[in-house]
Chains A and B, each alone.
Chain A
Amino acid sequence: MSERVAVETPVLRKNDEYAAENRRWFTERGIAVVNIMSAPGAGKTTLLEKTLPMFGERFRCAVIEGDLQTDLDAERIRRVGVRAHQINTTCCHLDARMVQGAAETFIDALPQVLFIENIGNLVCPASYDLGEHLKVTLFSVVEGADKPKKYPKMFRMSDCVVLNKADLLPYSGVALEELLANVHDVSPVAAVFTLSARTGEGLREWVDWLSGKIGEVRAGR
């Protein structure tokens, strides 16, 4: 005997359940969680190194770092005086369960803001809800103006798109207007910032926006 059974189950239901649990846990404790996603080498760690000190005393921060190998990134974060936990995984993305385990390592002194630096990958991390409150896509301008159209999901899901390495624009052959238009097409509601984490140009606007959003999350708005 053979029968067709209707299932109608999201493939990532298990991850989504963990993510919902995480979000509840973070929210109850007043922790604003920011998931930063990008391709490898777009400058996630550099952006964090520059952003974290600009918060000064305003927020107690911590960072979860995801990489296939090494704890180089966690070390870089610690050097700017912020607690960091490194996840090494052979996965091409972080999932909600990994984040749950990592967040528990901060239990002795919970942060007010938790940044998650996802695995460098412009595709897979977009599918996995981690229980964050804000999603940020970081994109270095030298990756090319067409990429938001080629990899739309991450851009579309993000609350904010940060275009990094603006200092390299003159050498990149990339037209910023074209890149901005493509981001705008696929991600109509995201806030967009163009900056250079390395030189510091444009950082202030991003940090102000982020501070405002973190305030909203922590106030339960």
Chain B
Amino acid sequence: MHEAGIAAEILEIAKTQAAEHGHMRVSEVAVRLGEMSGVVAEALEFAFEALRDGAAEGARIEIKRIPVLARCEACRVESRPGADLVLWCAQCGRPMKVLEGEELTVESVVLEDGDQ
């Protein structure tokens, strides 16, 4: 349950953006969340809503879930391993590299003027 700490970091990044761009308010924060990021989307939403304050009070979090994508470095085959997460190449049997699915990134923020 480190989602509260993660939500606090996201809010901090969003509020810093508002200040840097001379806006009063953050209305939306878009976050890319990999399925293997170790963060639970529902818990993150809950923590975000509980912790939002100041310029981010009333901000919405938009979570884009990113499925796992892996590539075999030997035969260049890319695949989505799915729920069983077998990270071995089905063609040549070599270990695969995870390209996507570990994201935990603030993608963008929507900033507003005025108080509402």
Chain A interfacial positions (CB closer than 8 Å to B): 1-14, 91-93, 123-124, 126-127, 149, 152-154, 156, 184-189
Contacts and interface: CB of A to CB of B under 8 A. Distances in A.
Given A11-B6, A185-B85, A156 B98 contact: yes
A188 B86 CA distance: 9
Interface in B1-53: 1-2, 5-6, 9-10, 13-14, 17, 21, 23, 27-28, 31, 36-39
A188 B2 contact: no
Contact of A7 (B9, B17, B23, B86): B17
A contacts with B: majority SS: mixed
Interface residues of B, number: 37
Interface string B87-99: 1100000011010
Given A127-B39, A149-B85, A8 B9 contact: no
Contact of A9 (B6, B21, B36, B106): B106
Nearest to A157: B102
A126 B102 CA distance: 11
Contacts of B107: 6-8
B113 A2 contact: yes
Q: Is chain B's binding surface mostly helix, strand, loop or mixed?
A: mixed
A5 B84 contact: no
B112 A1 contact: yes
Contacts of B69: none
Contacts of B96: 188
A124 B9 contact: no
A167 to B, nearest CB: 29
B108 A156 contact: no
Given A92-B1, A127-B104, A153-B37, A4 B110 contact: yes
